[in-house]
Amino acid sequence: MRDSRSLLFGEVHLQTGVRLKYAQQGDGSGHPIIFLHGFTDSWFSFSPVLPFFADGYTCYALDQRGHGDSDRPDTGYRMVEFADDVVAFMDAMDVTQATLAGHSMGSLVAQQVSLRSPERVERLVLIAAGTNARSEGVRQLQEAVEMLSDPVPEEFARAFQVSTIYHPVPEDFLDQVVAESLKLTARVWQEALSGILAVDYSNQLDNIKFQTLVLRGDQDTVFSQDAQKALELGLGNAVLKVYQETGHALHWERPEPFANDVKEFIVNCK
C-alpha cells in the first residue's frame, strides 16, 4: 500500500458518458473533499493545497469535463452537466456524502450540485464565488474567447490566468497553470464560458441549507461585487473569510491559510 501522504492519479468512466481524470490525496478512509477547479484549470489548480490535507482527509481533485486530461465531448458544458458528473463521480468512488470545495466556475458547479442533489453534500466551500458571473470583465472575456480558434495562443491563456492573480505565485507554477489551460480546444473555452454565463442562483439560495464557507480575496475583480454580496447575504448559514491583498486565485496566492481555514471549518461543523 502506498503512503497515504502520496498523491495518486486515476481515471473513471462515469454514467454520464465521460471519462474523468482525477488526483487523490489520502487512502479513502478520511473525510472526503471534492475539489472543483475554475474555468480552463484542472486538478493541478489545487496542487498547492493538497499536501496540507494529508492527515484525516481523502481529497479528490477532478479534471472536469473538457478540462485537463478528461474527455472533451462535443456538447454538455452547462453547469447542470458538470454537476451531474460530480454526482456520478461520487457514485463511482462509493462516496455517499462529501464536502464540495469549488473555485470560480467550480463554485457554480458546487451550487448546482447542492440544488440538484442536496443529499450528497455535507457542507460547501465556495472560493472566489458569486451567484453569477455576469460581470463586465467576464463579458469582455467572452467577446475575446468567441474569437478564438485552434490552437489557442499561449499568450492569450497566460494573459487570462495572470489577470486572476493579485499576490505573486511561483513562476514555474504559473507556467504549468498556463499549460493546463492550453489543453482545452477553442470550442471548450467557448462552450464552458457560455455555460458559466447562463446561470444565476440569486433566487435559489434559500434552498441551500448546508453550512457554507465563503472565501474571497479583497482584490478579486472577476465576479462582480453585486454577485459576491448576493451570495454572502443569500446563504443564511454561511461563514465569510476575506483575504487581504489577494485576488481571484486565493488558493494559489495563500495556499496554507486557505487549507487551514477549510480544515478549521470542517472540524467546527462536525
CATH number at residue 136: 3.40.50.1820
Does some domain include residue 60?
Answer: yes
pTM of the model: 0.96
Containing structural domain, residue 15: 7-268
Residues 6+ apart with CB under 8 A from 256: 52
Does some domain include residue 178?
Answer: yes
Does some domain include residue 131?
Answer: yes
In terms of phi and psi (left: phi > 0; alpha: psi -120 to 50; beta: otherwise), the region of 26 is: left
* Residue-level length of the chain: 270
Does some domain include residue 56?
Answer: yes
* Rounded Cα–Cα distance for residues 96 and 32 (Å): 9
93 CB burial (10 A radius; 0-12, 13-18, 19+)? middle
pLDDT in tens, 4-57: 457 999 999 999 999 999 999 998 889 999 999 999 999 999 999 999 998 899
Of 89, 88, 93, 86, nearest to 108 by C-alpha is 86
- 3-class DSSP assignment, residue 263: helix
CA quadruple 28, 31, 34, 35: dihedral positive or negative? negative
Number of separate domains in the chain: 1
- Asked if 253 and 169 touch (Cβ cutoff 8 Å), the reply is yes
* Rounded Cα–Cα distance for residues 246 and 255 (Å): 11
pLDDT in tens, 51-107: 999 889 999 999 999 999 999 998 999 999 999 999 999 999 999 999 999 999 999
Does some domain include residue 1?
Answer: no
Does some domain include residue 117?
Answer: yes
